[in-house]
Amino acid sequence: MDDTYQQGLEQRGDAPQSAPAQEPYSYEDYDRIWQRVLPELNTFPESRNEEGELPGTPVPGDQSLMSLPGAQRDPCCMGSAAQQSIGVITGFAETEIALCRFYRSFLRKAPNPRAARSLRQLLDMEIDHVRRLRAIYYLITGACMQTSRQIIIPPITTYCDTLRTAYHEEACGSFNYYRAAVGAPDPCLRALFERLGGAKRTQSETLVNLLGAAMC
């Protein structure tokens, strides 16, 4: 570009401006905004240390923290804190995989099309649970989940007895998800566990309805 033309643009204020440098993400600043908006809200108290600081926030110059999954882009969600729950996530996935096998076998015991549809819906929910747990595992670790333990599925006996067994499996599963949510150090992981716990509760109610329709 001609120097004289460039000078003219600058005098008129029309010269192209370089894009401003993007500010690095600051979780502390975000937290302070929340404190101004809702002073009574203690954001992520389970992640704070004794001084009230957020250990999951990368410290400038601390490359070891910056290398942790999630530390650079989103230190407050599905990052380093959630790694503490990897074993729990894998265990839940193994249980859900076993329940998928269980409902596939149980479908053959359905006494009528309506019951078959309900059991199919239960199977679809279990498949969805496995997919969600695998996705969350990848978000936290950046690796695909490898399950090595094969859970023994409940026995398939008479229709009503198997419904009873399935009910207890789902009810206990709901309790375990809610219990895991209470101890989860990551807020997004806690929300996932609570959602899966609610889904398990819905499944147990479906099994009660099936049992009620099958009994005199």
Q: What pLDDT is attached to residue 146?
A: 86
56 in any annotated domain: no
CB 178 within 8 A of CB 193: yes
Closest CA to 203 of 93, 112, 129, 152: 129
Structure confidence at residue 67 (pLDDT): 52
Token digits of residue 174: 């709901």
Q: According to the model, what pLDDT value does residue 21 have?
A: 46
Residue 135 falls within a domain, yes or no?
yes
Residue 95 lies in a domain: yes
The answer to whether residue 24 sits within a structural domain is no
Q: What's the domain count of the chain?
A: 1
pTM of the complete model: 0.64
Please report, in tens digits, the pLDDT of each residue of the chain (216 residues total): 444 544 554 454 444 444 344 444 344 544 454 444 444 444 445 445 555 554 444 333 344 444 544 444 545 677 777 888 888 999 999 999 999 999 999 999 899 999 999 999 999 999 999 999 999 999 888 889 988 788 888 889 999 999 999 999 999 999 999 999 988 888 889 999 999 999 999 999 999 999 999 874
Query: CA-to-CA distance for 118 and 210, rounded, in angstroms?
Result: 8
Report the pLDDT value the prediction gives residue 187, as an integer from 0 to 100. Answer: 86
Side-chain half-sphere exposure of 22, counting CA atoms within 13 A: 2
**Residue numbers of the domain that contains 204:** 81-214
In a domain, 179, yes or no: yes
Nearest to 188 by CA among 65, 61, 89: 89
Q: Is residue 159 part of a domain?
A: yes
Helix (H) or strand (E) holding 86: helix 86-106
What's the distance, CA 163 to chain centroid?
28
| The predicted structure's pLDDT at residue 55 | 45
Q: Does any domain span residue 20?
A: no
| 122 domain-assigned | yes
Residue with tokens 């894009």: 19
Q: How many Å apart are CA 53 and CA 45, to the nearest integer?
A: 9
Task: Please report, for the domain that includes residue 123, its CATH number.
Answer: 1.20.1260.10
The predicted pLDDT at position 211 comes to: 93
